[in-house]
Amino acid sequence: SFELALRKLTKEASKTMAGNLESRFPLGIATKSSTCPQQAADAKLDFPNYIIFLRVGDFYECFGIDSVIVAEFTNYTSSKNDVKQPICIRHEKIQAVLNILLSNGWCSAMYEESRVLVTPRQRFFCQLITHANPAYIHSKTSGDDIPDAKPIVAISSSESNTWDVALCNLQQRSI
């Protein structure tokens, strides 16, 4: 849990950042509407036990309590160890960070940008990174705002004990 993790912090940067958290907010920081931190706070309500990462251009950002945990287990910190500033991780480094977090018991929720030219930028939930699903399959946004998706195998049974198997390809919109 986040509360237990905060009591066990060992790095000075993490401790400094944690000292500025406010428990009345989902991320431990006050946020303004239509901002990245507010989008992260909204996501935290859906996934309270996950580290929330938002795609921002070529980077993934985390805020507040999530940035404290990332700082504790990686070599990343926010500007001046300020918990109100995001930790920014280049997209080509995100899988290594996710691996470190998973090895320390932390799962993550990944959000990608959908329309960069819209203000505020819109983001959509993309994937949970867990021990059962550790590889982040979407490392860049596609031109048509739809994330690349692997084909899905669907299996269904009927009352007559028969089985149907279908291969669904979302990119090609085919079954």
pTM more than 0.85? no
**Which structure tokens are listed for 120?**
């505020």
pLDDT for the residue 50: 97
pLDDT for the residue 61: 96
**100 within 8 A of 65, measured Cβ to Cβ:** no
Q: Burial level of 23, CB count in 10 A (0-12/13-18/19+)?
A: exposed
pLDDT for the residue 143: 37
pLDDT for the residue 144: 37
pLDDT for the residue 134: 86
Q: Alpha carbon of 127 to those of 25, 47, 96, 110: distances in Å? A: 24, 11, 16, 5
pLDDT for the residue 101: 96
C-alpha closest to that of 21 among 90, 73, 69: 69
Detail the DSSP E strand segments found in 33-140: 51-56, 59-62, 87-90, 108-115, 122-129
pLDDT for the residue 69: 96
Question: φ, ψ for residue 97 (rounded to 5)?
Answer: -65, -45
CA–CA separation, 103 vs 158, rounded Å? 41
C-alpha closest to that of 72 among 173, 122, 2: 2
Angle (nearest 5°) at CA 41 between 36 and 46: 125
pLDDT for the residue 77: 87
pLDDT for the residue 142: 38
Q: Alpha carbon of 13 to those of 67, 73, 110, 155: distances in Å? A: 11, 11, 24, 49
What are the 10-residue block averages of pLDDT along the chain, 175 residues in total? Answer: 90 92 90 90 95 94 95 90 89 91 96 78 89 74 42 75 74 57
CA–CA separation, 12 vs 19, rounded Å? 11
